[in-house]
Amino acid sequence: MTKTGADILVQTLAQNGVTHCFANPGTSEMHLVQALEREPRIKSVLCLFEGVATGAADGFARISNRPAMTLLHLGAGYGNGIANIHNAMKGNVPMINVIGDHATYHRKFDAPLTCDLETLIKPHSKHIGIVESADIAGQIASEAFEATNNYPKAPASIILPADSAWNSATIEGKKANPHTPTLIEGERIDDCAHAIKKAQKPVILVGGDALFDDASLENMARLKAAGVRVLIDTFPARQKRGAKIFAPDKMQYFGEMALEDLKGVDLMVIAGTQIPVAFFAYPNRPSILVPEGCETLQLTEKYENTIEALAQLVGALDAPPAPQLPDAKPIAKPEGKLNAFTCAQSLARLMPENSVISDDAVTSGLPHYIALQGAATHDWLCLTGGAIGQGLPVALGAQMADMSRKVFALSGDGAGMYCIQSLWTMAREKLPIVTIIFANRNYRILNIEMARTGASNSGEPSQMLSLENPNLDYVQIAQGMGIKAISATNCVEFDAALENAINANEPWLIEAII
């Protein structure tokens, strides 16, 4: 059988190790859909909304360290995927977004779905490849694979016009070389070590892959033992945590709290991330979260090898060994009112070893983050780019990346609605994800922010931030998408529901009325 451009594109990605395609196809992608069906190395996963597809690709890469592909339908389909591509951009997560377009000769006719796709995708594409003819499909695919995997990793886009997909092609793209971040020179290590020794109150701010690298976490513990406070980004893509693992401090979310926390710091060494800035600006509050008079030194940029640099810095400082950490202690069943803290106690109590937490729980997330530090080993996946709605799809992708791990999606009731269609794909793919919706009937974070910005008229909660009238019933919504679900209004119900869901071999949703 003659191969098409779509076949060659798909085979080249498969050859490079792509194993999953999260898809929401349309007419212009029919040949790509068929090429995917002919390629046994790639599993196609149907999503009912494009934000589910891009969020899943993000979660998949965070856990597997391999990019997934997505299949999106022209500008409108890509548009629906942008919010979660944005999160992946900010988290430096690789993915390959394949966007079907009209046939090359059809683009000029202003058909209903025509739009200026090349401009639209620019802000959220590290790299753009356009398959102008079928013969370059392989080359474009391998270039996109290479680009998304190069440090700093970020989403790449391929525009695949329909005729480039259906015309015949022969030349498969090449297999990309393995990617490693750039090693830095010893001089920079020495400069940082020297500055640290001289400083009264030095901190190091770490981001990127080091946060889930065992040796790096050990090295961070040693830096702390050497008198360097270790901080990490507020919202990293992935952090390995648990009772037996060194717990760095986090940059605080609210700027004024961050600066209070950093009072007296005279040196900030930055490794694998950038100078900390406030999430939002507020009237008369600072944007840059470095105390006045504090020196900043860049140990490594995002494209450089932070893991290696941390090891060398430990050596240069002759840092003492890390203290032994105690095992996780048994945690009691929570009692009293159900709230984010008692929910967190149940999760800390029941969560199995090697779990994955996809956190989109906004105000309910922090109590869980704190409680789980002393619990079983797990990976915590943050909302990297601030576009709420990624909790469910990221969990979906994370689970498909590793079916042996227990995956939890934590979501606010506001955040959960943006990509609620994720539940259907969880059901269809029989993914034993435990989704917990914290139902406070509010965009609670916005009520806090409203007060902070000084915008409130009356001090009364704004109706525009309330999710009441009617209350969302997540149990019915989940059941409507084929997911078993239960509502919990007290600690006993929640704890039992969670235990049951963790032991089930199918997806469950728990609505925690808090």
- Could you tell me the smallest distance in angstroms from the CB atom of residue 176 to a copy of itself? 27
- Burial-class residue 198 by CB neighbours within 10 Å (0-12, 13-18, 19+): exposed
Reduced 3-state DSSP string for 444-490:
HHHHHHHHHHCCCCCCCCCHHHECCCCCCCHHHHHHHCCCEEEEECE
Compute the least distance from the CB of residue 511 to a copy of itself, in Å: 10
Q: Which is nearer to a copy of itself, 345 or 425 (CB)?
A: 425
Q: How far is the CB of 459 from a copy of itself (least distance, A)?
A: 12
Q: Which is nearer to a copy of itself, 288 or 504 (CB)?
A: 288
Nearer to a copy of itself, 375 or 388 (CB): 388
- The Cα 398–Cα 379 span in angstroms is 10
Minimal distance, residue 32 CB to a copy of itself, in Å: 9
Bridge partners of 100, per DSSP, are 73, 160
441: left (phi over 0), alpha (psi -120 to 50) or beta: left
Q: Which residues pair with 337 in a beta bridge?
A: 490
Q: Which residues, including other chains, have CB under 8 Å from residue 422's CB and lie 6 or more apart? A: 47, 52, 55, 56, 392, 393, 395, 396
Token digits for 145? 């694979």
Which is nearer to a copy of itself, 190 or 468 (by Cβ)?
Answer: 468
Q: Which is nearer to a copy of itself, 478 or 497 (CB)?
A: 478
**Residue 453 CB, nearest approach to a copy of itself (Å):** 4
Nearest to 394, CA basis, from 238, 232, 233: 238
Closest C-alpha to 384, from 121, 28, 88: 88
> Which of 352, 386 has the CB closer to a copy of itself?
386
Minimum distance between the CB of residue 475 and a copy of itself, rounded to whole angstroms? 7
Q: How far is the CB of 76 from a copy of itself (least distance, A)?
A: 3
Q: What letter would DSSP give residue 352?
A: P
Of the candidates 508, 391, 434, 443, the one whose C-alpha atom is nearest the C-alpha of residue 83 is 391
Q: Minimum CB separation from a copy of itself for residue 35, in Å?
A: 9
Which CB atom, from 334 or from 365, has the smaller least distance to a copy of itself?
365
Q: Which residues, other chains included, contact 194 with Cβ-Cβ below 8 Å and sequence gap of 6+?
A: none
Two tokens, residue 239: 């952090």
Q: Who's near 470: CB < 8 A, 6+ residues apart? A: none
Judged by CB, which is closer to a copy of itself: 402, or 506?
Answer: 506
Please, are residues 56 and 400 in contact by the beta-carbon 8 Å criterion? yes
Given CA atoms 73, 76, 80, 82 in this order, what sign does their dihedral have? positive
Tell the smallest beta-carbon distance from residue 108 to a copy of itself (Å).
Answer: 9
| The two structure tokens encoding residue 262 | 């950093």
Closest contact distance (angstroms) between CB of 240 and a copy of itself is 21
CB-nearer residue toward a copy of itself: 404 or 457: 457
> What is the Cα–Cα distance from 19 to 8, expressed in whole angstroms?
15
Would you say 53 or 223 has its CB closer to a copy of itself? 53
